[in-house]
Amino acid sequence: MANETLVIIPTYNEVENVPLIVGRVLEAQHDVDVLVVDDNSPDGTGAKADELAAAHDEVNVLHRTGKEGLLAAYRAGFEWALERDYQVVVQMDADGSHAPEELHRLLDAVAGGADLAIGSRYIDGGEVKNWPRSRYLLSKLGNEYIAVALGDDTKDMTAGYRAFRHEVLEELDLDALSNKGYIFQVEIAHKVADAGFDVVEVPITFEDRKLGESKLDASFAAASFAEVTKWGVQDKASFVGNLASETWRQFAYAVSNSKAADLPSRAAKAPGQVADLAGEIGSMTKYELSNLNLGKVAGRAAEKLETAKNLTTETVRQALHVLKSGSK
């Protein structure tokens, strides 16, 4: 391993693009290695990548037996990188939409302390080129929905141009990531932030591919939004349940040290009811999402969460009343 940074480029039927993107990476950044992860492309991409590896010491090729999706390719690439102790690992598309000439922005962010640097289309300075307006709006508004659903500050959660610090990939449970569409990009960013790592966005210009065919289809958006909705509701349900449990724990301690040991059973039952509601939210969400009825999920989840909040408030009110009565 000559360099400490590895750029992973997954490929499937990218025989025209792979020599172009690899050449641009090597030209733009002289201190990185490249790993092409090919899913047994029938168009000869793997063989073309082998030619590049033979000509450049920095280029490596990982041949996989079949097309198993982008997550599986990145998982294999991440594991390959960790086994060889690369300190920074980069995701990059093969189709030229992620400009290697902007790679330095991500690497500079990591060098400056970021644990995960995301090349963002939707922060100041970011840009999208050659997309129809409908696709741009789907992506932009979809990212805004994701941010609200998950309570995340990242503007471009679906971005695929990223640089990870070694420690972040070690912490991630790669086998537990969702393989539904491209939602793993969102899941990784969310989990990295939740784990307390520093996530930084840097502006990039995203330009749609000029050669070859896109691997995206309309189904990925529905699958992604459904999965995000489920995570968001589950996160909020967990928060409400934990809040109720902690509230009751503190009141139980106070009650045990007061004259109010005969706390009414209705107050004692309230935290359990909150926990039951939290579980019901999760069950309801799975059922509704199985039919992709996202609007109904959002409405019913909001109702359940409001009920849980009100019940927690009632728990507090009842406990305060009992404590006040017991002190007389």
Residue 299: predicted pLDDT = 55
Please choose, from the candidates 18, 56, 11, the residue with its C-alpha nearest in 3D space to the C-alpha of residue 38.
11
Question: Quick check: is 218 in a domain?
Answer: no
* Whether residue 231 is found in the same domain as residue 201: no
Find out whether 16 and 43 touch, Cβ atoms under 8 Å.
no
* Whether residue 249 is found in the same domain as residue 207: no
Tokens standing for residue 245? 């449990």
What are the helix (H) ranges across 90-132? Answer: 103-111
Q: Return d(Cα 122, Cα 128) in angstroms, integer.
A: 9
Place of tokens 């409908």: 134
* Whether residue 74 is found in the same domain as residue 170: yes
* Whether residue 109 is found in the same domain as residue 162: yes
Question: Quick check: is 309 in a domain?
Answer: yes
> What digits encode the pLDDT tens for the residues 15-43?
999 999 999 999 999 999 999 999 999 99
| Enclosing domain of residue 107 | 5-213
* Whether residue 231 is found in the same domain as residue 88: no
From residue 146, give the alpha-carbon distance in Å to each of 9, 41, 47: 26, 33, 39
* Whether residue 114 is found in the same domain as residue 253: no
Sign of the CA dihedral 172, 203, 25, 19?
A: positive
Look up the pTM and report it.
Answer: 0.69
% of the chain surpassing 90 pLDDT: 50
Domain boundary (161, 184, 213) is at 213
* Whether residue 208 is found in the same domain as residue 236: no
Q: Residue 73 — very low, low, confident or very high, per pLDDT cuts 50/70/90?
A: very high
Question: Quick check: is 219 in a domain?
Answer: no
In this predicted structure, the answer to whether residue 54 has a pLDDT above a threshold of 70 is yes
Question: Which carries the bigger pLDDT value, residue 213 or residue 11?
Answer: 11
Tally of domains in the chain: 2
Q: Return d(Cα 124, Cα 140) in angstroms, integer.
A: 13
CATH number of the domain bearing residue 162: 3.90.550.10
Q: Return d(Cα 205, Cα 295) in angstroms, integer.
A: 33
> What digits encode the pLDDT tens for the residues 265-305?
544 554 555 455 445 544 544 444 444 444 444 555 555 55
